[in-house]
Structures are given as structure tokens and as C-alpha cells.
Amino acid sequence: MRHQYGSVEVITGSMFCGKTEELIRRLRRATIAKQKVQVFKPVIDDRYSYSKVRSHSGADFEAFPVNTSGEILEKLDPTATVVGIDEAQFFDDGIVDVVSALAERDLRVIVTGLDTDFRGEPFGCMPTLMAKADKLDKLSAICMVCGEPASRTQRLVNGSPAHYDDPIVIVGASEMYEARCRRCHSVPRK
């Protein structure tokens, strides 16, 4: 079933806040509604599965791994009516135009991504996607230090906070990252 008009939904927040879980929930509902769903993820995100988006809790959904944002348009199934894009912060800047092009084709586009990097600064394309979204959901996790709502992603190196000048992109999960609140988030050498 085609949509009358396109839309862009962005689900964002820190690691462990449930972004991918919420993406999968929306994709499953679209499937129940007999909508044709297609999901894409960056090749770099191979934490749990190469050809699935998978939440930290284990829920998953089939996905096409792609190297660049342009490949999304190349591999798009012409019968798709809902497009999911996981971990958008890892894509090149062209992802913003790709998402807009999909919505202009009257597709429902659901995008997830970290809003900030481990330093607490805006991450890649996400600020622009958030600004252009028709619907924006910013989720929070639980701070692993104090138990308060967490809006930051803390990278750990040998159990200590990563330094400001460490590389921005290092793919990992609970072995390298924690959710932290603003007060407990720490970035040495900032």
C-alpha cells in the first residue's frame, strides 16, 4: 500500500536508549499493515550481524548493508513503501539528500542514529536529519553510574573515559561504551 505523501521519522539518543528496538517495532507494525519494508545499514556496523539490524536486546530485522548513502537509492526495491535506515551517523553527508529523495517519492523513511558522539558533540549528519524530520523522537537510556536518565554516550578505554582527541568512530557495544547522564559523562583533555 503506497502512502499519500512521504515522511521522515528520526529516532535518536545515546547508545543503549532503544533506537534500533524502536525502529524494529515500527518496521514490524508496517509489515503487519502489509506495507513493503526495506532496511539499510552501514557496512561498518557489523557488531551483531552483517545482514540484519539488531538491537542490544536481541530483536532483529533483515537489512541490506551498504558502503555509501548512494547505494540506498541503487538498491531500493521499487515496491518498497517504508524504508528503514539504521546508524545514520556512520553514513557520508549524502545521506541527508538520500533521505529527502526517498520522502519526495512518497515513502515513509525511518532513520536512527546517535545524536552526539562520545565527546558529547553533534554526530555527523544527525543534526541536519533531526532538523528536517517530520517526526523526531529523542530517547534516553539509564546512566550506568548514577541511574538517572542518560543522554550521553561514554566511550571507555581500559575502563577509563576516552580522551577528547581519540578517534570519533570506533564501532563497539557494551564492552566499550556506557550510557551516562550529563553529570557523569566525562571527556578528559576537552
Q: Which residues are catalytic?
A: 87
CA-to-CA distance for 60 and 57, rounded, in angstroms? 9
CA-to-CA distance for 135 and 10, rounded, in angstroms? 6
Are the C-beta atoms of residues 161 and 120 closer than 8 Å to each other? no
Cβ-Cβ contacts under 8 Å for 131 (sequence gap 6 or more)? none
- Element (H or E) spanning 123, and its range? none
Distance in angstroms between the alpha carbons of the first and the last residue of the chain: 50
Based on DSSP, count helices (H) and strands (E) in the chain, helices before strands. 4, 13
Are the C-beta atoms of residues 90 and 114 closer than 8 Å to each other? no
CA-to-CA distance for 30 and 38, rounded, in angstroms? 11
Instruction: Enter the C-alpha cell of residue 152.
Output: 550521553
